Chains A and B, each alone.
Chain A
Amino acid sequence: MEHLFFATGKSGGPVHRLDPRVKIICTVAYIICVVLTAPSAFSQFALFLTVILTAALLSRIPPGYVLKRSLVIFPFVLLVVAFVPFLKKGEVVGSYGGLWVVWNVLVKSWLSVLAMILLGSTTDFQMLLKGLECLHFPKLFLMTIAFMYRYIFIIVNEAMRMERAHRSRYFGGQLLRQVRIIGNMVGLLFIRAYERGERVYQSMCARGFDGEIRTLSQLKFKRWDMVYISLFLAAITLIKIV
């Protein structure tokens, strides 16, 4: 069965080869800098956009691809933002101050998402986890994310199979009854996932799991990592200072 999860840019550009820690640090630093920019500083936003597009070019990911994927967030942000102009106290609906807030939220979330997309499409999920681990991200969270990534395929497959079995015996009928059946399916899926969790835990215990998570870290900083992180951080600091 086919899924469209987690498409990663397979072309191994120079950004792909970077230590994931470098990319994580750069992304977080970038987002913090963007968030801390005044809404009226248009030139700074333009420069931030240039930085991310340069990085995208460097990674040989078509900027168009990054831009297109970033559009995904607009419905969400717009939904949040749409009400802001009406909520500002003591101002006329659709007024100048309210629009500033809209602009502020929109541009910052868009730039941040661009950075996240770049990170996501140049880093294997495994490497991302490894990087977070080396940065001392809490292991319990990491393990939860790793399990989520590992089992989402299986749970989606299970859901697809159930849906198929349902469809093959579905000849139309009352809407209300269908809704109930779908509700049952969701419940069943939950129970199956829960039971799967039990069995996975058993198989972990069978191999000596005692609650402590042990891993081998194998990341090494290379010169290119140093160069990239220095340039990147210098670029965004310059934008902030100048």
Chain B
Amino acid sequence: MDKAIEIRNLSYSYPDGSAVFEGINLKINEGERVGIIGPNGAGKTTLLLHLNGILRGKDEVKIFGLGLNNGNLHEIRKRVGLVFQDPDDQLFSPTVFDDVAFGPLNMELSKDEVNNRVKEALEEVGMSGFEKRFSHALSAGEKKRIAIATVLSMNPDILAIDEPTSNLDPGMRKNLIALLGGFQTTLIIASHDLNMVEQLCTRVILLNRGRIIAEGIASEMLENKKLMQENGL
């Protein structure tokens, strides 16, 4: 069976030549929940940006057996939903409706289907009735939820979320963890909120300075205090 995500020997350098990754290998099964942890600047965000071809490094990234190339790009972007760390980057339309409808419209769905998808996605994140609200006037927690809805409306098979709990107060954080816990899709969370990763993920990958330092079962790995401390966590 094809893996949901298969990355072989991925390397990436910034345009100025400084390397971010060298030789990353990673396999993620369908339905798995994986946490990518690591200190600031470890390369977590950069890795996520490779999952749907926003960035392209050397060598192979396969999503459900589809190689990442220009021909497959559209299909892969439909299947991998990427939620950015700063919701203000994700919510760029005047109203919530426009933002959530943006993906489905780009998939060239019919008008009714788009309306349906928006309704369902907002329902799923518990934000029904927010369609006409202005994106800039929402609270941080609301923005996070809507940002997730903008991706859910595309019905992705893989949900990749960058720092979902950053900038949230404890109550909002708890709400969001409960929300993410309810999703059935393959889930990839990049974060240094270890507590959340432990609650949500079965497997954890520790990334530091562009290399995978360790990977294993969440509860076991996060117990290893020495490893965590050595890697700035």
- Which residues of A line the B interface, CB within 8 A? 125-126, 129, 146-147, 149-151, 153-154, 196, 199-200, 202-210, 214-216
Contact = CB atoms under 8 A, between A and B. Distances in A.
A199 B80 CA distance: 17
B169 to A, nearest CB: 18
Given A146-B94, A199-B89, A210-B74, A204 B111 contact: no
Interface of B: 49, 52, 54, 74, 77-78, 80-82, 84, 86, 88-90, 92-95, 98, 101-103, 105-108, 111, 114-115, 134-136, 150-151, 154
Q: Main SS of chain A's interface residues?
A: helix
Nearest to B115: A216
| A-B pairs, 7 with minimum CB distance | A208-B106, A207-B103, A214-B105, A199-B89, A206-B82, A126-B94, A203-B90
Given A206-B54, A207-B103, A216-B105, A126 B86 contact: no
A208 B77 contact: yes
Given A203-B84, A206-B77, A216-B114, A126 B136 contact: no
29 contacts: A125-B94, A126-B95, A126-B134, A129-B94, A147-B92, A149-B94, A150-B93, A150-B135, A154-B88, A196-B88, A199-B86, A202-B49, A204-B92, A206-B52, A206-B54, A206-B81, A206-B84, A207-B77, A207-B103, A207-B106, A207-B151, A207-B154, A208-B154, A209-B102, A210-B106, A214-B106, A215-B98, A216-B111, A216-B115
B108 A214 contact: yes
Nearest to A216: B111
Nearest to A152: B136
Given A203-B92, A208-B154, A214-B106, 15 more contacts: A147-B92, A150-B92, A150-B93, A150-B94, A150-B135, A151-B92, A154-B136, A199-B86, A202-B49, A204-B102, A207-B77, A207-B106, A214-B108, A215-B105, A216-B105
Nearest to B106: A208
Contacts of A150: 92-94, 135-136
A205 B108 contact: no
A196 B89 contact: yes
Contacts of A216: 101, 105, 111, 114-115
Nearest to B55: A202
Secondary structure of the B contact surface, majority rule: helix
Contacts of B115: 216
Contacts of A147: 92
A208 B74 contact: yes
A126 to B, nearest CB: 5
A151 B89 CA distance: 10
Nearest to B82: A206
A214 B105 CA distance: 6
Nearest to B97: A216
A151 B86 CA distance: 13
Contacts of A149: 94
Contacts of A203: 82, 84, 89-90, 92
Contacts of B89: 196, 199-200, 202-203
A205 B54 contact: yes
Contacts of A126: 94-95, 134
Contacts of A205: 54, 77
A203 B103 CA distance: 10
Contacts of A200: 89, 92
Pick from B52, B94, B115 the residue with the most CB of A within 10 Å: B94
Nearest to A199: B89
A149 B93 CA distance: 9
